[in-house]
Amino acid sequence: MSAYETRRPLEDMIGDLVAGFTMPARDERTGLHATSVEFALPVETRVIAGPNGPVVHADMPATRTPSAFDMPVGRLTMRLTTFATGVAP
């Protein structure tokens, strides 16, 4: 990563999102249990040359109000799902 590149590799950003989220346990009072969550996030992306080929760098936008100097903002949509084995619904 150069001094001008403040974004991190896309897999690092996704890893941080996954690490920061845990599915809650079943609520015994209501019987509800979340099994998935979906993220739809704005991201600034850039493809740069890495030592082994192209690397996608991505991160959340640095500011809330974009200017003409900012990179275009795209959208990252992903769904995290848990799979419980041996647990009755």
Average pLDDT of span 64-72? 73
Cβ neighbors of 53 (< 8 A, separation 6 or more) are: none
Euclidean distance between the first and final Cα of the chain, in Å? 46
Residue 3 confidence class, pLDDT cut points 50, 70, 90: very low
What is the tens place of the pLDDT at every residue in 45-64?
888 888 999 988 888 887 77
Domain boundaries, the chain: 1-20+37-63+71-83
Q: According to the model, what pLDDT value does residue 6 have?
A: 67
What is the tens place of the pLDDT at every residue in 5-23?
567 888 888 888 888 776 6
Average pLDDT of span 63-83? 78
